[in-house]
């Protein structure tokens, strides 16, 4: 294990009914004006908006609506939210949505507290926010685990970069499975695949085999696969949904990352693909992972072998990678770039730009270069 400091500041409420039972009392700890942030309309259709608004009103809050946060939230949307917070003297931000809404709010919360441009501060100045408007998160789409940490993924359209930006962490997070039931089946599975990816990318970041973080990561991977298979039988299996919701949280609450480096190269490739195509995050990962792992399997044979045995019950490293590819097909997730919903045609020229602008991770199993990232992408076309 490498040295680390572990502190966990996010109070987590889990289970059906937890929002109705506990949100009101949590809100008493904050001022009167609440920014209610959400996506592009799902919470208005499934009744969540009404339920949360009633809880806010009963707690005596004045609501400022921040609507229309898009999947793959943009930096412009962050600035819009920060302006709303300042203009309305917002005391507290309540993010109600999936990873996109929660990510956007984390950076809104930090941007509202500084006159400096957060993107420049982090990417040019290498400084990170230590002040923010307090926020809470109510999860309506599980998978990213965004509610569990202070990292956000934001698309800066003027720079054509989708990248990790640090912002606020939520003071509290609500994980109520019932709030996810209206999610389309495809999004449930792509979200769950994102969880699997987080655990795999964390696990592969160090060559040491015997640390407890790896053992927990393997358990999360195995449990995610088992419960995704249950959803293939019945997408409304509530136990499986709740198991996956906690898998998602476990993968990103920092426990798996204690004392070790992480990889996250597949994520870097997908994020930059997202900057150009606006594709769905979990689906993009499903396309990229097998191709990426075929390139690096020989660089981490022991780790891939253990992954193969524990997660897919096959004997060799290569068989494990192919079992992952077969599992992706079994779930009906996209396997080729052409199957992704994209705002541009995905051509070799676009993939060259994605590869050239992709962030490269220096840790295990092996550092790629831009040419190899281009090759990996071309193998997915
Ligand atoms: O916008 P609305 O209308 O709400 O619709 C959303 C959206 O279209 C819909 N949805 C959410 N909850 C619903 C629902 N539809 C019906 N019923 C519900 N209960 O689902 C669609 C996708 O939502 P989104 O929030 O974009 O999905 P997800 O949770 O997968 O988040 C993806 C974003 O998170 C980032 C990704 O890059 C991407 O931008 N990530 C954030 C991470 C983090 N902060 O730790 C880690 C991840 O690796 C990831 O990069
Ligand atoms: Zn992810």
Nearest CA to ligand 1 atom 46: 144
Q: Are the CB atoms for 306 and 218 separated by under 8 Å?
A: yes
Sequence-distant (6+) residues with CB within 8 A of 381 are: 336, 337, 338, 346, 348, 351
Q: For residue 10, report the distance from its CA to the centre of ligand 2, in Å.
A: 20
Tens digits of pLDDT across the chain (381 residues): 989 999 999 999 999 999 999 999 999 999 999 999 999 999 999 999 999 999 999 999 999 999 999 999 999 999 999 999 999 999 999 999 999 999 999 999 999 999 999 999 999 999 999 999 999 999 999 999 999 999 999 999 999 999 999 999 999 999 999 999 999 999 999 999 999 999 999 999 988 888 999 999 999 999 999 999 999 999 999 999 999 999 999 999 999 999 989 999 999 999 999 999 999 999 999 999 999 999 999 999 999 999 999 999 999 999 999 999 999 999 999 999 999 999 999 999 999 999 999 999 987 899 999 999 999 999 999
Ligand 1 atom with the smallest distance to the CA of 70 is 1
Ligand 1 atom with the smallest distance to the CA of 42 is 3
Q: For residue 141, report the distance from its CA to the centre of ligand 1, in Å.
A: 6
- Is residue 266 in contact with ligand 1, taking CB distance under 6 Å? no
Q: For residue 180, report the distance from its CA to the centre of ligand 2, in Å.
A: 18
Q: For residue 100, report the distance from its CA to the centre of ligand 1, in Å.
A: 5
Q: How far apart are CA 206 and CA 263, in angstroms?
A: 8
- Is residue 40 in contact with ligand 1, taking CB distance under 6 Å? yes
């Amino acid at each position: 294990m490498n040295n680390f400091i572990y502190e966990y500041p996010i109070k987590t409420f889990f289970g059906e009914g937890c929002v109705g039972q506990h949100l009101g009392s949590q809100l008493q700890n904050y001022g009167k004006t609440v920014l209610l942030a959400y996506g592009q309309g799902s919470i208005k259709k499934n009744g969540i908006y009404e339920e949360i608004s009633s809880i806010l009103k009963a707690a005596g809050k004045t609501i400022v609506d921040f609507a229309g946060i898009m999947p793959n939230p943009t930096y412009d949307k962050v600035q819009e939210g920060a302006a709303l917070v300042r203009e309305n003297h917002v005391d507290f931000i309540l993010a109600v949505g999936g990873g996109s809404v929660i990510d956007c709010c984390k950076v809104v919360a930090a941007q509202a507290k500084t006159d400096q441009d957060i993107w420049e501060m982090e990417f040019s100045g290498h400084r990170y926010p230590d002040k923010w408007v307090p926020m809470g998160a109510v999860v309506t789409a599980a998978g990213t685990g965004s509610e569990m940490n202070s990292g956000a993924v934001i698309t800066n359209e003027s720079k054509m970069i989708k990248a990790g930006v640090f912002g606020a962490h939520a003071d509290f997070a609500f994980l109520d499975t019932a709030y996810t039931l209206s999610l389309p089946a495809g999004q449930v599975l792509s979200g769950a695949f994102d969880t699997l990816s987080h655990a795999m990318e964390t696990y592969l970041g160090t060559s040491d085999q015997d640390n407890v973080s790896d053992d927990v990561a393997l358990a999360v991977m195995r449990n995610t696969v088992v419960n995704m298979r249950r959803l293939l039988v019945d997408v409304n299996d509530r136990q499986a949904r709740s198991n996956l919701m906690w898998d998602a949280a476990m993968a990103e609450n920092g426990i798996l990352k204690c004392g070790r480096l992480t990889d996250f190269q597949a994520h870097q490739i997908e994020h930059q693909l997202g900057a150009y195509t606006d594709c769905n995050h979990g689906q993009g990962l499903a396309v990229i992972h097998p191709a990426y792992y075929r390139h690096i399997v020989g660089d981490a044979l022991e780790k891939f072998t253990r992954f193969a045995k524990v997660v897919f019950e096959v004997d060799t490293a290569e068989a494990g990678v192919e079992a992952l590819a077969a599992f992706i097909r079994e779930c009906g997730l996209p396997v080729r770039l052409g199957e992704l919903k994209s705002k541009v045609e995905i051509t070799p020229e676009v993939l060259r730009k994605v590869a050239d602008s992709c962030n490269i991770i220096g840790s295990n199993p092996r550092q790629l270069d831009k040419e190899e990232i281009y090759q990996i992408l071309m193998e997915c076309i």
